[in-house]
Structure 1
Amino acid sequence: MSLAVPLAALWAILSGCGVDSGPEEEGDRLVQTGRNFAEEHRYAEARHTFEKAIALDSLNAAAHCALGDLDARLGHVERAVQAYKAALAADSTYHRARHNLAVIEADRGHLPLAIELLERIPTYVPALRTLPLFYAKQGRYDLAEKGLHTALAVGGEDLDVRQQLGRLYLRQGRYDEARAALDLALAQDSTQAESHRLLGLLHLAERRYPEALAAFRHALALEPHLIEAHYNLSSAFLGLGQPTQAQAALARFETLAADAAQVAHLRRQLDANPDDRETRLQLAHHYRQLGRDDDALTHYRAILLADSDDLEALISLSGLLLTRRDDQEVLELCRRGISQHPEDVRTSKLHFARGYVHMRRSQYQEARTAFEHALALDSSSATAWNNLGHVQLSLGEEAAAQRALESAIAADSTLADAHYNLGSLFLQKGQLAQAQRAYRAAIVADSTFARTYYALATVYQAQG
């Protein structure tokens, strides 16, 4: 069984432990400032601040530990290990460092060492919650169960602990106890996809296939990229005698599992060579396929930390941030990339992103200019032609808009949005036959494009 911990989960475990208390002196202030920088993805400033705290006091365990957290987040595993060891050398009672070192060692496959590290801090609540995971990996379910109950007794009610208990009881066939644990987890937070998935596994084990199907669908509605849930969904469909749906769910599972396997492989490569740009780009791509945008974001920023003008990273990061509506940073990234790579055809994507931000802000003059620059570098972009046409329509430039939309369709006849926009232009001009043809072409390109059906109904009504 793999022991690899996903980067997002690893960072959540590392950063969720809390900071050991200490006097509010300059070193502590610097550590907190650095942590704030890290949360804002200002990694260079975070590193500089932590190093400044260490220069001020080489025995500042919190600063060494914070530097380790930063390196772990950026995939510099060896540096993280050395930082945690430096923290423990400065203060052997700094439990956060020992806990986070254990998590790293477990991720590297050194499970016995990780357990030994955690067993040395039996009163540290984060360790009480992490140690049962490792016991369960070894099949030591009695110790895992005991540890989870200790975590609840010492640390209070905790959603993750209830989930772990539910999972543990399921593995042992203790279904009533599993149901009780999962009910408590869902009572705390009904939006946790994993709790619904585990409940579905319970129903599946009891051959209650309709209930299992509903639970897995609920889990996937909350988290569409939850890999195991697609496999579980396939099992539920098979139980209901629906092999076609089962095969579709299994195919989706296999696609996501392939991306996850690539992530595991690339992470091992990155452990060996954390400065490899291409590995980070590939990792970020597969993370995005898995819906793990935060992990992808970390790797794009790590590349730009080494080379602030890396064009591929600028393009990829701006595209990701565009989906998050982080418009101001998108514009800054585009400005940087365009100024450094003005003639590179790939820079057309930055002009496009800039145009999209302006279009979204109804800044149509600026949007038109940006899309025109994008097309000057790459005239094959159907989406750029389509957006240019949309902007020109908004500016009342109907003839230019028609040419742009026809160019979009020539570049990609399957772009339903371009057909739709062209139909809207014809409808606006009262050219009903042309509008009807354009809307029908949009439906051929995408039969799920709902707006087109309403628009086509408007045309039929106007035609009498």
Structure 2
Amino acid sequence: MVIEEMRCALLTHPTVESTERVGDDVIMRWVLRFSLQLILLTGPALEGEALWAEDSPDIVALIQFSPENPLQGGAEGISLRGGSSGWGQPTPAPLQRRGIIFMLNGAAPGSMGNSSENPPQFSLLVAPLLSFGNSSQNAKSLMDQGLQHLQQARYEQAIAAFRQALELDPTLITARYDLGLAYFSLNKFEEARQAFDDVHRQNSEHRFATYFLARLDLIQGNLEGAILGFQSLGGQKPVADELYYLGTAYFRKDDMQHAVHFLQKALVSTPADYRIHLLLGRAYQKLSRKPEAEREFALSEQHRSVYRQKSREILECNTLLNSQPLDSAVQQCRQLLDGVDPTKLVSLGVLLAERQLLDQAVFPLAKAVQLDPENYEPQFNLGLTYFKMKKYAEARKPLEAAVALRPESYDALALLGSVLFALGDDYQAAEQLRHAHQLRPADEKVKSLFFEQLKIIAQHLLAGKNYKESVAYLNEALSLRPEAADLQSQLAEATAALGDSAKPDQPPSH
């Protein structure tokens, strides 16, 4: 009970030191004060304070798991000083397997003998029972292997191990749940849905399977299904960040009142989650509540900065990348930050991109975009990474999404304008660069690129003898660089061709 309460506290009130987010697929570690390590091989990663326990010789490395909480495991995972019964009851240490066989056969423990007159009546039971025991033990061994692979972000190997375990023992609900997590982590959403549906068939009240099924609905655009799923988790302490995703579902439905309501509730549990502040700001913006929107945007930036500075996983990954051989450091960083948490995935992608490991940065960022498309961070950083790789066509979509999410983001506007310039989409590039220049008129890089873009458009219009529109673009370009003699000549040429009707117009929208 103490462990369960402690776990619930960490799930609903995570700290930077304990965990940044629930939902990652790493083991949970609890250290007992009296030198015994309690290891719960489960989905999420939570590191709590050291846990006091009574000095009881009966407590060993594993405790009885609750079938109601897959963060602990399932009823199949029981071991208290003896074997694992597989039926949800611990096996007392003094009770030996031979004794069980004798009792099942109706023979007294002392009646076993070699007399030909008294052949042992239990012999037919020995093989199947031992076979069942070995099969159950093998299944749990494979499940443990799968959990280790899951911890180390080796998802394909985890899937293979869990599937083998389930072939031996289909009742292992923890293996089936973690199989779903592994598929989810690889963005294999149909396979993940099948696994979580199977978990529900075994236990219809499995709240974490419900959580992931609702997230799958949200990813695949089934907003009503997602809302029903997330709402079914209400009335108790939050499982993870379902209130954020519930707010996201209502936001996508354009139901801003409900979006604001659930995002505000989400902040009660996790006030430092910068994603919630950002989405809440966007909802306020759509409701024309500008002061509240600006406040939430500022809080989002503040909490994002603090997270980047204090996150244990980010700091540890930074240290590894600075001190370890590259391949080893990257693999260890994946163990720390890969999984199903978009925030950690963005951190992993950014850390890799900062070290010019651009190809390796793409996967976690693209994965975060798919898991949480309403989040500005993965969209912008994926676009930036593609831009640095000179993959301008690939950069366009996430950057357009980033600008749609934050229309006043100077960085996103400037980068999107640069991408469109490189792709030759001149009018769209001019529109984005114009907006960026209006936000920061003193930035010389954007000013220069905007000037060049206006020149290109004006020259195309002159070549097509579209003098009136060319005059508008030439005038705008000259407002940026009045000393540009070549543009002054072109403007004179266009004005002369137009005659007295030539008047400076605003650049047309295209």
Alignment TM-score, normalising by the size of structure 2: 0.37
Higher helix share: 1
Structure with more contact order per residue of length (Cα contacts < 8 Å, sep ≥ 6):
2
Alignment TM-score, normalising by the size of structure 1: 0.40
